[in-house]
Amino acid sequence: MTIPAATSQPEPIVSAALGALQPRIRHGFFTRKGGVSEGIYRGLNVGLGSADERERVEENRARVAAFFGQPVSRLATQHQVHSPTVVTITAADDLPRNHADAMVTAVPGVIVGVLTADCGPILFADAKAGVIGAAHAGWKGALDGVLENTIAAMEALGAKREQIIAVLGPSIAQPHYEVGPEFVARFIERNADYARYFIPSEKPGHSMFDLPGLTVDRLKAAGVEASSLGLSTYPDEERFFSFRRTTHAGEPDYGRQISAIELEEM
């Protein structure tokens, strides 16, 4: 098939905290802008697991890699399964694709990225040690320790948690994340203090869940400098894909945006 040229190029959102680490660290929280997918996947859909045309997804991934000045062979992503599992990348020419939800590396020129469509993308960097990471944290990953495991994996590569900066990108915010009583009970059973992340919804017995709040608080409790872009995926259809919005609209599938980070080659 012939893929038409995109009318624009990717323009990822850059956080002030990680942006201050340039040129050693380069990163971006990518939106839908600048891709070649069409229909419900319109824009920069990088979801290999979506039913989008494979050629378009591959072209979108290549555009992400090109933003970093790298070939797509340097873009590492995993088969995400809402786990606490972290993969360590040790060579630029060997980028494994496993069932995992986070990656860390100290190899310059490797782009580590996570795909999301409501779950939280977190990018990590210790610029002094030259170690970076990326994690995909939905409610299950955040609850089961993917954030803390990512930090520990970075430390194994020489990072120090007091030097690590972590930023949460676009994810679904509390006003759009309604959950049932069994969901709330699962969190309260784990930690009674987690009740603070829920407020009553208009539906009896249901609550609105603050996933970003939980994510940032757990990062801070782990001893790293953490912040959030404060952007919600659900209400912003022009910029972000959203699994929950797609579900409410009765659409058959959804795209995924990517958040990625690279340790620059010197």
Instruction: Report the pLDDT value the prediction gives residue 1, as an integer from 0 to 100.
Output: 61
Consecutive 10-residue averages of pLDDT for the chain (266 residues): 69 96 97 96 96 97 97 97 98 94 98 98 98 98 98 98 98 98 97 98 97 98 98 97 97 97 90
How many CB atoms within 10 Å of residue 192?
A: 9
Q: Where residue 250 sits, what CATH number does that domain have?
A: 3.60.140.10
Its pTM stands at 0.97
Residue 131: inside a domain, yes or no? yes
Instruction: Report the pLDDT value the prediction gives residue 123, as an integer from 0 to 100.
Output: 98
Residue 67: inside a domain, yes or no? yes
Residue 191: inside a domain, yes or no? no
Residue 197: inside a domain, yes or no? no
Residue 155: inside a domain, yes or no? yes
Query: Does the bond joining 23 to the residue before it have cis omega, within 30 degrees of 0?
Result: yes
Instruction: Report the pLDDT value the prediction gives residue 5, as an integer from 0 to 100.
Output: 62
Task: Name the domain count of the chain.
Answer: 1
Decide: 52 and 63 in contact? Cβ < 8 Å.
Answer: no
Residue 186: inside a domain, yes or no? no
The conformation of residue 140, written as its DSSP 8-state character, comes to H
**Exposure on the CB side of residue 31, measured as CA atoms within 13 A:** 18
Domain that holds residue 124: 16-173+210-263
Residue 8: inside a domain, yes or no? no
Please give the Cα distance from 182 to 192 (Å, whole number): 14
- The pLDDT tens digits of the residues spanning 97-137 come to 999 999 999 999 999 999 999 999 999 999 999 999 999 99
Residue 58: inside a domain, yes or no? yes
Sequence-separated (6 or more) residues with CB below 8 Å from residue 202: none
